[in-house]
Amino acid sequence: MLARPATAPREPDATPAPVHGAAAPPATGSAEALPSGWQAATAWRRLQGQLRDPPVRQAVRERAVQAVVERAQALVRHAARPMRVVEAGWPEAGDLDLEATLERPRPWAPEDLRLVRRVPREADVVAVLDMSLSMTGEKIALVAVATAILRMKLEHVAVVAFDTVPHVLVRAGEVLPIREVVRRVLEVPAQGYTNIEGGLVAGREQLRRGRRRERVGLCFTDGVANVGADPTRAAFTFPRLHLVHVGDHHPQGARACLAMARAGRGRLYRARAYQDLPDVVRRAVRELFRS
């Protein structure tokens, strides 16, 4: 079990600190006067509670979503989608596998022709996202980019965020456009404590609802839990769980992430800062789901 603090933790203040040197945006007014591009994505957490005019709020939100999607697209532009090789025989479609065909006993018949073809790799994946109070606007935007990369490269992705309690953002089997997945991640309030165990339990429940043989969890966290039970027990219940440890200033978190990856029979990836997270996730997808 994780050690609890000697005294009850102070309830965090959920009100985000003002950005130094930045004027508060108007509650109403023209969207043109508000941030756009990546600035809209990083400022969205602060802006969403301050904008009172629904059309303006929606316009800025869509700018934020578009900026996240464009950044993810730029990272995966030249990356192939994970594929697997399927072996078949004539008359099915595919390329001739000459070596396998020659190994067939003679005399050959048409059905002895061995063929191979590449098809998209099918897997049920759940992304488990640490979204507690320590998450700032830029960190949330970068987590959204990493989640978008997963969704662009893998078709069946459920998403669970956690703070004090877990929040299911995308359920297993729910088919959503990438923009909607990004919007849901950006609108997570990022509050409360860090209950990694709760997030993993909710993620495992989503995988249980999957219909594909391969079921994988990926958890993005700094590994520093301050409420909930020992997350390694929850990690052990996954068919496969990979960890992306974000940050290098918490030795306790690094040890916890390693323990969870070992319990989940998965790999441990490290992102030294949140700015590195999207690229690390892109590499993880390439390595974990290659044929």
* pLDDT 10s digits, 126-157: 999 999 888 889 999 999 999 999 999 998 99
How many domains would you assign to the chain?
3
* Closest CA relative to residue 287, chosen from 70, 116, 72, 121: 121
Any domain includes 221: yes
The more confidently predicted of residues 92 and 48 is: 48
Any domain includes 70: yes
2 has a pLDDT exceeding 50: no
Amino acid 106: pLDDT = 79
The answer to whether residues 212 and 107 belong to one domain is no
Any domain includes 25: no
The more confidently predicted of residues 83 and 281 is: 281
If you average pLDDT over every residue of the chain, what do you get?
85
* Closest CA relative to residue 235, chosen from 221, 249, 250: 221
The answer to whether residues 129 and 103 belong to one domain is no
The answer to whether residues 48 and 107 belong to one domain is no
Q: By mean pLDDT, which of 2-6, 74-78, 81-85, 286-290 is the weakest? A: 2-6
Q: What is the mean pLDDT of residues 11-37?
A: 55
Q: By mean pLDDT, which of 8-22, 104-118, 244-258 is the weakest? A: 8-22
The answer to whether residues 107 and 140 belong to one domain is no
Beta carbons of 2 and 229 less than 8 angstroms apart? yes
Question: What is the pairing mode between strands 166-170 and 156-162?
Answer: antiparallel
124 has a pLDDT exceeding 50: yes
27 has a pLDDT exceeding 60: no
The answer to whether residues 152 and 232 belong to one domain is yes
The answer to whether residues 155 and 92 belong to one domain is no
Q: What is the mean pLDDT of residues 177-203?
A: 95
Q: By mean pLDDT, which of 8-17, 35-44, 103-112 is the weakest? A: 8-17
The answer to whether residues 154 and 266 belong to one domain is yes
217 has a pLDDT exceeding 70: yes
First to last CA, the chain: 38
* Closest CA relative to residue 264, chosen from 246, 242, 288: 242
